Structure 1
Amino acid sequence: MRDSESLTVPIGLDREARRPLQDQLADQLAAAVDRGQLARGHRLPSTRTLSERLDVSRGVALAAYEILYSRGYLESRRGSGTYVAGRTAARPATPPAAAPRGEPIDCTPGQATRDGFPLAAWRAAWRHASFPPPPACDLPAGGLPELRGAIGEHLRRTRGLVAQEHEVLITTSASRGIEHVLDLLGAGGRRVAVQDPAPPALSRAVGNAGATAVALPATRDGQWTGVVPPSCTAVVVSPDGPAPRGTVLPALRRRQLADWARRENGHLVAVAQDHIVPSAAPLPRLLHLAGPRVVVVGDFRTVFAPSLRVGYVLVHRGLLADAPRDACRGHDQPSAVAQSAMAHLLAEGHVTRRLRRLARLFECKDALVRTTLEPLARLTPGTPGSVVVHLPDDVRAEHVHAELSLRGVVVPTLASYHLPGRPADNALVLGYGHLPDRALRTTLHELAAVLRSDHTVVGRACGL
């Protein structure tokens, strides 16, 4: 008997019982399928083999199989044999105590969307990357040259960054790039100023590098005041508009940052946003204002998928102390295949096309968001695909957040983007660009319902 036809479950037939043997056999095989002992697609022994194994007539085995066919447990494949049917709903041996609840709708900004995903280009890139044999040696310390060159060209075309004295180094994310840079600067144990509010990942990266994150003073609309806290060795800033407010740093403030870096012997870590920067009224780049003292970090996590894990650092050669090898030692980088696939996506123009398509998708969703929420709350733009929802003083953002959580919708508060102890407006941050249409409509329905409800309902989540 072939291994593929082996019977792996015990069968006990009572030959003295009044119940026919074929019924006993059919019931025991069905129970094995229901318990998951015989998986979908499992090949069963032929009736001849089964009858020999169980010492019954072939007619008994054939009758048992006919019973199972009629119940939908088995299927035959022409010229191949008898199999457990793929449509059978096998039950686990230990059923769960309760049916699992659906996953909540997460409206945190900065997530990737599957809308309009360029699947053909994605598959072509991975085929291209996996065609040659893997390298027989370790990856270059700074990453694959073709990816480093492709990122440099991408930054030139999309952001106008011309950095002849800088090197592109490959890392796994913008956050890891910040840690990498702060390690190069010897920032451990020192203070690093961070835009506030900003994504929590920025302050976490500063902490992971052993530095202390302090807030860069800002006005209520998120604009930097022009003051850098004392004793800071670096400033981490997103000049083209960080989450959640998307406030773009004006030309005057950019020059003030460059002046600070030169005067205080500090460095500026500019986090590049993974969206198309509007070309109207172009602003000077920090890199061009204070070149040697500016490092640019970024990644492509929201362009395609976070699992791609490809990021970069654009750093001045002087900071590398001659060799990228020394700079990158101990810092992780993506696999050779992932780097090659990303290089192909960049070189073929798929990244730029994806960014432009995302911008159009966000515009369509933005219209729906504004139509639904503007009658209920004051809205201010955030980063592309997000909006800040300002609430009246008598409807607290944390209460609305809690009530929405009970309804299966997660919408972070603006306060969660501030460093601890920093004042925050009474507002929510609604990320919608990544949501499928149905999830977006559900989110807007629930949020509108909470905002329309009386204060007793809103406060219920907090036991008020």
Structure 2
Amino acid sequence: MDLHVTVSGQRDLAGQIYRQLRERIVEGRLAGGTRLPSTRELAQQLGVSRKTTLDVFERLLAEGYLIARRGSGTFVADTLERLPARSPGHPNAQIRAAQEGCRALSDGHDRRDRHDQRDGNAPPWWQTQPEALALPRPDPRLACDFAGGVTDKSRFPFDVWRRCITDALRVQARGTGAYRDPAGEEKLRLAVSRYLAFNRAVASNWDDVIVTQGAQQALALLARVLLRPGDIVAVEDPGYPPAREAFASCGANVVPVPVDDDGLIVDKLPKRARVIYVTPSHQFPLGMPLSLARRVALLEWAQTHGALVIEDDYDCEFRFEGRSLEPLKSLDNAGLVAYVGTFSKTMFPELRVGYMVPPAALKGALMRSRQTADCHGCVLTQTALADFMLNGHFARHLRRMHQTYAARRETLLKHLRGPLAAWLEPVMPNTAGLHLAARLAAGADETALLAAARAASVGLHALAPFHLETPLQQGFLFGYGAVEVEQIDAALTSLAAHLPRA
């Protein structure tokens, strides 16, 4: 068959062909079971090298969009046949309910805790929480601390950032002094929408983007408008504790769902779940991506059960092997996914800027909730960040940091697969992000490992706190965002030297 694919110019030919084929498959214009021309035929048809078409087919095969049958050819996989159809006029039950208003402000909370509040006390849930979230804070007293979720600020171009801030101050000085749009500055929303379209295949208009104070505020806003006390929220186990706490603070019943090598096990979702929180590009903290078959199954499940999926794409920018699957949001034709991102992992956490692209039906409720929370974010920071992105500085910073983090990851894996192999086993596939997870090897003594880490002045962080249910196997998270290659090499060499000999 002839494919209606075109190439323009000579730049990124494989990317152009890939995006067009993937779009036709996702939209159903290339139906499951359709036989594609050979890579040689397609190369001749398009006037490109066969290597270009081979690269495209290999990527689509690896991601599950195509299947190869020996002796028969290459065919479109039927995995996407079950994807929920686009139905913009009929948001699911959870979104319809959110359109009625910000329900976290409803009398449901008042009735539940009225007695405690008459006594001048906070509701019981808040009284039992720690004073601060368990966010990563490396111990400076250690020779090397593998805390996760930490970035390397020393490599950030603060000279460029300073100029962006100065320009933003000039813009702010000329302003009217009025309150701003709770969704964020238009220029930054435009920059984010362009970035998502080009880098993450998330098609969105600038007006679809909501800028937040980090990803945590995005999660908190979604929780406030979606959840009533007693609603079930399904989360990955192990998973991200601050997300669980955002949902629980609204009175939700947070239910753990196990993950395996393909990510979240969709068949284990509780049938009454109203919200599902997932990290499909790089499962936190184990690292595997959610397979294409599971992505389709999850979207199908969400439409069938009237649930909303919250996709946290927290460190998708750094991928070191192969190509990542496109976000779950890029497959969402039916308004089932709220996409959440952050600049904390690409720039630095103190920036406190994140964003979300929710289903259109949720935007009104989210804006009302945002206005009651903090009205809007810092205009100065948003204006500077928009210039930083639109002028190409953000993309250049990502390219530099990609090389830096790749070298650190490679050094860490060299030790885990070498001198430490009898003690720790990396969780694979784990080809992206700023951390690796490693399970305790069979027969290894966790107490001895931790004692050796203390003697070597190495900070190890267990995976157990990320679990809601008791883990079957012990393990550790190795964050390499804030440690140099030389630190990693010296620290793990010292750790191996302090371990008991077999």
TM-score w.r.t. the length of structure 1 is 0.69
1:417 Cα offset (Å): 1.9
Give the 3-state SS of the residue equivalent to 1:216 in structure 2.
strand
1:187 Cα offset (Å): 4.2
Q: Which residue of structure 1 lines up, in the alignment, with residue 483 of structure 2?
A: 435
Which letter does structure 2 place at the counterpart of 1:256? A
Give me the CA root mean square deviation. 2.7
Instruction: State the Cα deviation string for residues 222-274 of structure 1 (Å, max 9, x = none).
Output: 62222212321110011111232211111111111111111111000000133
* Aligned: 1:449 with 2:489: no
Q: Which is bigger in relative contact order (C-alpha 8 A, separation at least 6)?
A: 2
8 Å Cα contact 1:239/1:248 also seen in 2 = yes
8 Å Cα contact 2:156/2:347 also seen in 1 = yes
For residues 327 and 121 of structure 1, the distance between their equivalents in structure 2, rounded to whole angstroms, comes to: 35
For residues 210 and 121 of structure 1, the distance between their equivalents in structure 2, rounded to whole angstroms, comes to: 44
1:282 Cα offset (Å): 4.2
Distance 1:402 1:266, change over 3 A: farther
Q: Which residue of structure 1 lines up, in the alignment, with residue 102 of structure 2?
A: none
Q: Which residue of structure 1 lines up, in the alignment, with residue 164 of structure 2?
A: 125
List aligned pairs for 1:298-377, cutoff 5 A.
298-321=341-364, 325-332=367-374, 333-375=376-418, 376-377=420-421
8 Å Cα contact 1:272/1:297 also seen in 2 = yes
Q: Which residue of structure 2 lines up, in the alignment, with residue 4 of structure 1?
A: none
Q: Which residue of structure 1 lines up, in the alignment, with residue 464 of structure 2?
A: 415
Q: Which residue of structure 1 lines up, in the alignment, with residue 104 of structure 2?
A: none
Q: Which residue of structure 2 lines up, in the alignment, with residue 48 of structure 1?
A: none
Matching residue within 192, 201, 208 for 2:249: 208
Give the 3-state SS of the residue equivalent to 1:328 in structure 2.
helix
Q: Which residue of structure 2 lines up, in the alignment, with residue 192 of structure 1?
A: 233
Instruction: State the Cα deviation string for residues 387-441 of structure 1 (Å, max 9, x = none).
Output: 223323433446534652465432211222212x232422211111321345323
Which letter does structure 2 place at the counterpart of 1:384? G
Q: Which residue of structure 2 lines up, in the alignment, with residue 149 of structure 1?
A: 190
1:208 Cα offset (Å): 3.0
Distance 1:385 1:251, change over 3 A: same
For residues 131 and 449 of structure 1, the distance between their equivalents in structure 2, rounded to whole angstroms, comes to: 56
List aligned pairs for 1:158-237, cutoff 5 A.
158-164=199-205, 167-219=208-260, 221=261, 223-227=263-267, 228-237=269-278
Instruction: State the Cα deviation string for residues 152-189 of structure 1 (Å, max 9, x = none).
Output: 11111110111359721121111221111121113443
Q: Which residue of structure 2 lines up, in the alignment, with residue 242 of structure 1?
A: 283
8 Å Cα contact 1:387/1:430 also seen in 2 = yes
Matching residue within 121, 124, 149 for 1:110: 149
8 Å Cα contact 2:276/2:309 also seen in 1 = yes
1:207 Cα offset (Å): 2.2
List aligned pairs for 1:28-107, cutoff 5 A.
103-104=141-142, 105-107=144-146
Q: Which residue of structure 2 lines up, in the alignment, with residue 379 of structure 1?
A: 426
For residues 194 and 324 of structure 2, the distance between their equivalents in structure 1, rounded to whole angstroms, comes to: 22
Which letter does structure 1 place at the counterpart of 2:489? R
Instruction: State the Cα deviation string for residues 311-333 of structure 1 (Å, max 9, x = none).
Output: 11211221134x76414222345
For residues 245 and 403 of structure 2, the distance between their equivalents in structure 1, rounded to whole angstroms, comes to: 32
Instruction: State the Cα deviation string for residues 17-56 of structure 1 (Å, max 9, x = none).
Output: xxxxxxxxxxxxxxxxxxxxxxxxxxxxxxxxxxxxxxxx
TM-score w.r.t. the length of structure 2 is 0.64
8 Å Cα contact 1:261/1:267 also seen in 2 = yes
1:349 Cα offset (Å): 2.3
List aligned pairs for 1:273-312, cutoff 5 A.
273-276=314-317, 280=323, 282-283=325-326, 285-312=328-355
Distance 1:396 1:214, change over 3 A: farther
For residues 290 and 339 of structure 2, the distance between their equivalents in structure 1, rounded to whole angstroms, comes to: 15
For residues 448 and 247 of structure 2, the distance between their equivalents in structure 1, rounded to whole angstroms, comes to: 30
For residues 404 and 432 of structure 1, the distance between their equivalents in structure 2, rounded to whole angstroms, comes to: 16
Counting matched residue pairs gives: 351
8 Å Cα contact 2:408/2:484 also seen in 1 = no
Distance 1:447 1:388, change over 3 A: farther
Give the 3-state SS of the residue equivalent to 1:174 in structure 2.
helix
Rg comparison, structure with higher value? 1
8 Å Cα contact 1:262/1:290 also seen in 2 = no
1:345 Cα offset (Å): 1.6
For residues 177 and 309 of structure 2, the distance between their equivalents in structure 1, rounded to whole angstroms, comes to: 38
Give the 3-state SS of the residue equivalent to 2:309 in structure 1.
strand
For residues 108 and 189 of structure 1, the distance between their equivalents in structure 2, rounded to whole angstroms, comes to: 34
* Aligned: 1:425 with 2:467: no
1:357 Cα offset (Å): 2.0
Distance 1:274 1:438, change over 3 A: same
1:115 Cα offset (Å): 4.7
For residues 194 and 330 of structure 2, the distance between their equivalents in structure 1, rounded to whole angstroms, comes to: 15
Distance 1:365 1:252, change over 3 A: same
For residues 137 and 238 of structure 1, the distance between their equivalents in structure 2, rounded to whole angstroms, comes to: 37
1:203 Cα offset (Å): 1.7
Distance 1:385 1:447, change over 3 A: farther
For residues 135 and 454 of structure 1, the distance between their equivalents in structure 2, rounded to whole angstroms, comes to: 70
For residues 211 and 193 of structure 1, the distance between their equivalents in structure 2, rounded to whole angstroms, comes to: 10
Instruction: State the Cα deviation string for residues 116-161 of structure 1 (Å, max 9, x = none).
Output: 3223322222112112316511121211111122111111111011
Which letter does structure 2 place at the counterpart of 1:301? S
For residues 345 and 230 of structure 1, the distance between their equivalents in structure 2, rounded to whole angstroms, comes to: 44
- Which segments of 5 or more consecutive residues in structure 2 lack a partner in the other structure? 1-138
Distance 1:166 1:195, change over 3 A: farther
8 Å Cα contact 2:201/2:327 also seen in 1 = no
8 Å Cα contact 1:287/1:294 also seen in 2 = no
Which letter does structure 1 place at the counterpart of 2:141? E
For residues 215 and 315 of structure 2, the distance between their equivalents in structure 1, rounded to whole angstroms, comes to: 10
Which letter does structure 2 place at the counterpart of 1:448? A
Give the 3-state SS of the residue equivalent to 1:330 in structure 2.
helix
1:300 Cα offset (Å): 0.5
Give the 3-state SS of the residue equivalent to 1:329 in structure 2.
helix
Distance 1:178 1:218, change over 3 A: same
Which letter does structure 1 place at the counterpart of 2:275? A
